[in-house]
């Protein structure tokens, strides 16, 4: 309802002056929802300034630089949302999920959680559905890669929004290749090429102590991509597994190929390094590792090292070209008491602003197409960024079920003797398969 006459004009001028004044001193109120007139807007701005502060917690894993990036992102969020304070809860990858389960048990779930295997946790009832928020705010999902979006969906509802794609690539040291007189790997390289290059790049001193390691892979969990590339699979279905397929020759061969790199060719760092991605990239940054299996999260760390000349290439293929589809997503705890504020953070992190910041940091391959493919970001680093786009297209989903954590643990344990060189792949698989099958049937 509009007032008439001179009082209206006077009232109408005030909010403008006030708003401009606020802007000039750097205070930016939340973007207002569409309102009927400027008068109600002014009131909303004033109310926001006076509202009490809310605190929420945000948990995630990651390397030290990832923690720093998240801190800066949280600061940017707080600057735009002065009424919300974000407390960061960081745990290393190895302990993150165990820690999270402890928090849940004690009823102290973080409000916003960084998670993979969203379907699994959603089915356990740990997560809050986001559909009502998405719909209310008209949050546009069309910019996301659909395959990633699908992994956050359980029984028709979104329980998270994907931050990135965990695309795996091979990092290589261009200087070491040059020193050995070798051409960099081609995009269509194979396992045989990898093995030959690793052998020629591997260098030892007179006493037989390693100077440069040819190649390092992650012995935990990601050996399954190699199984896929050999035409095999670990389970018959990533979402509703019923059958373990690990005992098929394709799977056994792939595992034996990796084990042979460690023990027959002896071109990898020792096992304790292979079980810790942080350790692998410490060696790589020091110039003591020629080729390393890893993901986009390593890039901010590598950029900081002066005089390290590196580039990336897609995974070598054997019978098939395969990579991982799916990365982690931001979720809101089912038991959170600050869901509105938590959603504000998720909306920021998943919106163009948060995704832009993550992308500028170099940490991730963003889940939003507009950010991923924008030249402002593509131009910033000196590596073959197209590789990520190509490899993302080959992605396949990892096991996405409540059993994921247990299956991962069982497998990692059962394969340790193989990586140690105590048993053959065949033997290791024979002991693992019945246990996995038992888990599925439980």
Binding interface with another protein (CB under 8 A)? 2, 8-9, 12-13, 15-17, 19-20, 23-24, 26, 28-29, 31-32, 34-38, 41, 72, 75-76, 79-80, 352-353, 356-357, 359-360, 370-371, 374, 376-377, 380
The least CB distance from residue 19 to another protein, in Å, is 6
- Nearer Cβ to another protein, position 80 or 248? 80
> Residue 438 and residue 89: Cα distance in Å, rounded?
35
> Residue 288 and residue 132: Cα distance in Å, rounded?
51
- Nearer Cβ to another protein, position 19 or 275? 19
Asked whether 388 and 378 are in contact (CB, 8 A), the reply is no
- Nearer Cβ to another protein, position 29 or 238? 29
| Token pair of 9 as six digits | 């004009």
The least CB distance from residue 296 to another protein, in Å, is 16
Q: Which residue has the tokens 């986001």?
A: 130
3-state secondary structure of 188: coil
Q: Which residue has the tokens 């974000």?
A: 86
The least CB distance from residue 65 to another protein, in Å, is 14
Residue environment code for 337-374, b if the CB has 16+ CB neighbours within 10 A, otherwise e: ebbebbbbbbbbbbbebbbbbbbebbbbbbbbeebbee
The least CB distance from residue 372 to another protein, in Å, is 12
- Nearer Cβ to another protein, position 320 or 376? 376
- Count Cα neighbours of 89 within 13 Å in the Cβ-side half-sphere: 18
3-state secondary structure of 192: helix
- Nearer Cβ to another protein, position 35 or 141? 35
> Residue 125 and residue 147: Cα distance in Å, rounded?
23
The least CB distance from residue 95 to another protein, in Å, is 30
The least CB distance from residue 352 to another protein, in Å, is 6
- Nearer Cβ to another protein, position 28 or 98? 28
């Amino acid at each position: 309802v509009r007032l008439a006459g001179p009082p209206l004009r006077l009232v109408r001028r005030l909010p403008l002056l006030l708003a401009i004044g606020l802007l000039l001193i750097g205070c930016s109120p939340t973007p207002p929802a569409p309102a009927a007139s400027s008068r109600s807007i002014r009131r909303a701005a004033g109310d926001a300034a006076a509202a009490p502060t809310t605190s929420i917690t945000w948990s995630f894993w990651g390397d030290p630089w990832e923690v720093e990036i998240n801190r800066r992102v949280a600061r940017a969020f707080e600057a735009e949302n002065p009424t919300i304070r974000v407390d960061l809860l960081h745990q290393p990858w190895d302990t993150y999920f165990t820690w999270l389960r402890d928090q849940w048990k004690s009823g102290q779930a973080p409000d916003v959680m960084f998670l993979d295997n969203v379907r699994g946790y959603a089915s356990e009832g740990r997560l809050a559905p986001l559909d009502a928020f998405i719909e209310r705010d008209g949050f546009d999902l069309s910019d996301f890669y659909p395959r990633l979006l699908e992994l956050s969906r359980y029984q028709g509802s979104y329980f998270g929004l994907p931050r990135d794609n965990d695309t795996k690539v091979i990092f290589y040291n261009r200087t070491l290749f040059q020193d050995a007189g070798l051409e960099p790997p081609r995009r269509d390289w194979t396992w045989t090429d990898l093995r030959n290059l690793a052998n020629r790049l591997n260098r030892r001193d007179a006493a037989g102590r390693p100077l440069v390691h040819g190649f390092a892979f992650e012995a935990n969990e990601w050996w399954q991509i190699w199984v896929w590339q050999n035409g095999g699979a670990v389970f018959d279905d990533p979402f509703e597994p019923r059958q373990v397929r690990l005992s098929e020759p394709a799977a056994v061969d792939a595992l034996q190929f990796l084990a042979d790199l460690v023990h027959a060719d002896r071109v990898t760092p020792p096992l304790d390094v292979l079980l810790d991605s942080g350790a692998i990239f410490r060696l790589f940054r020091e110039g003591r590792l020629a080729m390393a299996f890893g993901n986009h999260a390593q890039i901010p760390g590598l950029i900081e090292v002066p005089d390290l000349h590196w580039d990336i290439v897609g995974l070598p293929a054997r019978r098939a070209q395969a990579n991982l589809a799916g990365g982690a997503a931001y979720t809101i705890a089912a038991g959170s008491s600050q869901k509105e504020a938590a959603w504000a953070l998720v909306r920021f992190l998943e919106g163009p602003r948060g995704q832009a910041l993550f992308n500028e940091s170099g940490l991730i391959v963003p889940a939003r197409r507009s950010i991923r493919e924008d030249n402002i970001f593509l131009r910033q680093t000196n590596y073959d960024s197209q590789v990520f786009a190509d490899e993302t297209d080959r992605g396949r989903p990892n096991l996405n079920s409540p059993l994921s954590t247990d299956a991962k643990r069982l497998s990692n344990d059962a394969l340790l003797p193989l990586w140690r060189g105590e048993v053959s792949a065949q033997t290791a698989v024979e002991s693992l398969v019945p246990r996995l099958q038992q888990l599925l049937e439980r």
